[in-house]
Chain A
Amino acid sequence: MLEVKNLTFKVDADGVEKSIINNVSFVIPDNKLVCVTGPNGGGKSTLARLIMGIEKPSSGQIIFNGVDVTNKTITERAKLGMGFAFQQPIRFKGLQVLDLIRLAKGENINVTRACEYLAAVGLCARDYIDREVNSSLSGGELKRIEIATLLAKSSALSIFDEPEAGIDLWSFQNLIEVFRNMRKNIKDSSILIISHQERILNISDEIIVIKNGEIAEKGAKEDILPRLIGTNAAVSTCRKLA
């Protein structure tokens, strides 16, 4: 379970203090899939990065499974069971896909097992397992590999920052399946997804709408989603592509 209490993140913009996240509180219970949506620039990605420890909050508290992680490092949070899929996956010269999956898994699993994670994100494992995670891979390929590393990590809380960005229509359905399987396969885990996509919002249990760094709305999907459809917080796949 993740508890975010009165979280605030301020930056100095040309001598003026600006709140990117302002007094945000919410809870993600175990076994729940929660989506955070809202307009661009509203602070969604920052919120995700604060939870993972990539950014440090100005004030407030983050409690993860009963442990106050507010001042813990990224590494410590990862070891406590958090996982993070970047909006723009990082490239590495030399490191191979297999290396990354093994590091995520935390053990030297054999190639066959590593391939299962690639197959789960719709990549032909044989063609990718030895590839370097460098600029020879397309944005969409990197994105799927990023998601495969999160599957391998099998975290108690998996955070996805705009997982659909750069993914084509075919793999979109695949992505939805990935989230469904994660819920099924990782016991007592929860998932936090930053997304505008109606189809992703549609598989969530709860939706939090972040606007101007604050929670504009939160509640069960059934209550929130109908009000969002047609706004920038929930675009259909075709509209986004157009």
Chain B
Amino acid sequence: MKELDVIQKRLLEEVADLHGVPAGAYNIRANGEAAGRVSTANIEIVPKENGTGIDIHIKAGTKNESVHIPVVMTKSGLKEVVYNDFYVGEDADVLIVAGCGIDNCGKQDSEHDGIHRFFVEKNAKVKYVEKHYGSGEGEGKRILNPGTEVYMKEGSTMEMEMVQIKGVDDTNRITTAELAKEAKLIVRERLMTHGKQNAISTYEVKLNGEGSKADVVSRSVAKDNSYQKFDAKLVGNAACSGHTECDSIIMGNGNILAVPGLEANNVDAALVHEAAIGKIAGDQIIKLMTLGLNEAEAEEQIINGFLK
């Protein structure tokens, strides 16, 4: 394995909670090159022939194993598009940790566009965690445009946790999913933008199978002059149930656009959307002040709790 520098190690900690070499299968990508790759008996990581990414094959029945595929970038001006495909076998139960950290101290923009496709076979269970983080004082932007496509077979479950709390200047995230009979998708997105950052998050979830379920919940905070757009569309093509929720706090000159979208093409599709945007409630700040916090500390606690 290629030795990572101090900044790259710090980014790895931020995006994948990794303090060293992970247990289980992993692929670490640093500045556009593979910095380490390990397959296990049940999880095989194979580079694509055209060099554009990796294929991850998880054998049927694999239980309680994990795959880490973090990306770290510390070179200013680097732009890359990576395609990673996950094939999750029947009845497997795995944890997949992705995530990208960019440290840009230079003048040029750094950009990582990771396109992840998940082919989840019957009754498989996947927990997917994706964290994004940016740091560095350079003028160059830190840009992340993740694309996620999920194809879920009968009875499969996917739980996605998407977190972007700090330092990413520009994000355009597109997530699509197609659910077969009895498949279940849960998404928990947490997003904070500050400065002049822009973040767009778009979901389109097609509930194609009878008894399929989707629950897409986003909690976000837009500070300073940042902009966010949350565009979540559920399409009910069968007797299914779907729920999306966008709950946001705006501060300063923050700007948030929530676009609810529900499309029911079956009389038994039950779809619900909730959206709420507002500033921190004054009485919440007052309550924490009566416990001895000042106004800034109170705001910080409220936001930390909200994004927890």
Contacts and interface: CB of A to CB of B under 8 A. Distances in A.
Contacts of B281: 90
Contacts of A89: 287
B305 A103 contact: no
A96 interface: yes
A177 to B, nearest CB: 23
Given A75-B294, A99-B301, A103-B301, A93 B289 contact: no
A78 B295 CA distance: 13
Interface in A83-116: 83-84, 86, 89-90, 92-96, 99-100, 103-104, 106
Nearest to A153: B291
A77 to B, nearest CB: 8
A103 B308 contact: no
Interface residues of B, number: 22
Interface size class of A (residues with CB under 8 A): 20 to 34
Contact of A84 (B247, B290, B302): B290
Interface of B: 219, 247, 281, 283-284, 286-295, 301-302, 304-308
A153 B288 CA distance: 12
Nearest to B292: A78
Interface of A: 52, 54, 73-75, 78-79, 82-84, 86, 89-90, 92-96, 99-100, 103-104, 106, 149, 153
A95 B303 CA distance: 9
Contact of B289 (A75, A92, A94, A104): A75
Contact of B293 (A75, A90, A93): A75
Contact of B290 (A83, A92, A94, A99): A83
Given A73-B294, A75-B289, A90-B286, 9 more contacts: A75-B294, A75-B295, A86-B287, A90-B287, A92-B306, A93-B247, A94-B308, A96-B305, A99-B301
16 contacts: A52-B290, A54-B286, A73-B289, A74-B290, A75-B293, A78-B291, A83-B290, A90-B281, A90-B284, A92-B305, A93-B306, A94-B307, A95-B301, A95-B302, A103-B291, A103-B292
A90 B281 CA distance: 9
A103 B297 CA distance: 11
Contacts of A86: 287
A7 B152 CA distance: 67
Nearest to A96: B305
Contacts of B293: 75, 103
